[in-house]
Amino acid sequence: MILPSVIDAIGDTPLVSLDRVVTELGLSGRILAKLDYLLPGFSKKDRAARTIIEAARASGELRDGQPVIELTSGNMGTGLAIVCGVLGHPFIAVMSEGNSPERARMMRALGAEVVLVPQAKGSRPGEVSGADLARVEEAAQRITRERAAFRADQFARPGNPAAHFHGTAPEIWAQSGETVSVFADFAGSGGTLAGCAAYLAPRGVRCYAVEPTGAEAIGGGDRSTPAHPIQGGGYDMDALAHLKSTDSAGTVTVSGNEARDHARLLARREGIFGGFSSGANLAAAVQLLRGPERGGTIAIVICDSGLKYLSTDLWDDPPPQ
């Protein structure tokens, strides 16, 4: 089948059983990985980018040729760069300098204008905090006014969770033969978790939010050490609008080191080259199978590609096996 554009290649990613990891760790149960890092922009955010832009064009809120702008850690921006490029919209990505430079280079290669915002005082490269995100938001609002642009606003627009309610979740449910009992996802904007939970929870699936140790705003836990290397989420924000009415079974906390170690395990044992948040999702699934969800079937998303982290310490001297 010949597709009319690369936009039509967004969706229907494979679901893979991580049997080698389960065996190596001696777990009771099953982990299924949704390979969204194989989407055109190498991340799950392609789904939300497509849905938000198509909905805005259909409603007339986004006019032909009008610029689009968005705050991004790089993944949503990459998806928007692809969708906007195909549909004829200039795209401006506003991103913290704390994010890995691969992301900015990829967006520029796809035709985006990238505005990098200096980090807040005390922030470290590779670790984007809520304070950093607030500075990016301020810049995004200013440029939106100056350019008379359409703001994609992944943190608020319903197209974000809708993309996963109509795409990711039913794909997982069907591909698993309706056997999934648990879903867990690292919370960035909250769109994936909210959309998947809205579809899966009524089918008896328990859905967990994954967040960094020490930045546990969703679960109301420890918030003493909000700095962490898991880019794209865990911003220690009090309000994620998409999660306000989510039917959640709870939260799972994962440290930066655990996310790093499990991303490396995923690559070494399963040949799946995911990023930090993918490692966090695997680490959370392992915790759940060792605890309250022992014996269950847990679905996770491989959120983005490890290629976006080559300049970080994610792949620095992994231990020999």
Total number of domains in the chain: 2
What are 172-226's pLDDT values in tens digits? 999 999 999 999 999 988 999 999 999 999 999 999 999 999 877 788 888 877 7
Residue tagged active-site, from 100, 123, 277, 278: 277
User: Among residues 151, 174, 209, which one ends one of the domains?
Assistant: 151
Residues 216 and 303 in one domain: yes
1 inside domain: no
**Phi then psi dihedrals of residue 107, to 5 deg:** -65, -40
Residue tagged active-site, from 44, 45, 176, 308: 45
Residues 187 and 222 in one domain: yes
Residues 62 and 184 in one domain: no
Residues 281 and 205 in one domain: yes
Residues 275 and 307 in one domain: yes
181 inside domain: yes
Q: What is the dihedral of CA 129, 182, 300, 50, to 10 degrees?
A: -80
Q: Is the pLDDT of residue 279 over 70?
A: yes
Q: Residues for the chain: how many in total?
A: 321
Task: State the Cα–Cα distance between residues 152 and 57, nearest whole angstrom.
Answer: 12
Q: Is the pLDDT of residue 57 over 70?
A: yes
Residues 138 and 272 in one domain: no
Q: What is the dihedral of CA 311, 313, 319, 320, to 10 degrees?
A: 0
19 inside domain: yes
Residues 38 and 52 in one domain: no
320 inside domain: no
66 inside domain: yes
126 lies in which domain range?
45-151
DSSP codes, 140-173: HHHHHHHHTPEE--TTT-THHHHHIIIIIHHHHH
**277 included as an active-site residue:** yes
User: Among residues 117, 151, 185, which one ends one of the domains?
Assistant: 151
Residue 291's pLDDT band (boundaries 50, 70, 90)? very high
pTM: 0.93
User: Among residues 131, 151, 171, which one ends one of the domains?
Assistant: 151
Predicted local confidence at residue 19, as pLDDT: 98
What are 220-277's pLDDT values in tens digits? 888 877 778 887 777 766 668 898 888 889 999 999 999 999 999 999 999 999 999 9
What are 121-147's pLDDT values in tens digits? 878 877 777 788 889 999 999 999 999
Predicted local confidence at residue 212, as pLDDT: 92
Residues 67 and 188 in one domain: no
Residues 202 and 293 in one domain: yes
Residues 145 and 71 in one domain: yes
- The two structure tokens encoding residue 59: 């409603």
Residues 34 and 121 in one domain: no
Residues 284 and 176 in one domain: yes
Task: State the Cα–Cα distance between residues 197 and 246, nearest whole angstrom.
Answer: 7
Mode of pairing for the β-strands spanning 250-254 and 150-151: unpaired
Residue 117's pLDDT band (boundaries 50, 70, 90)? very high
What are 27-44's pLDDT values in tens digits? 999 999 999 999 999 999
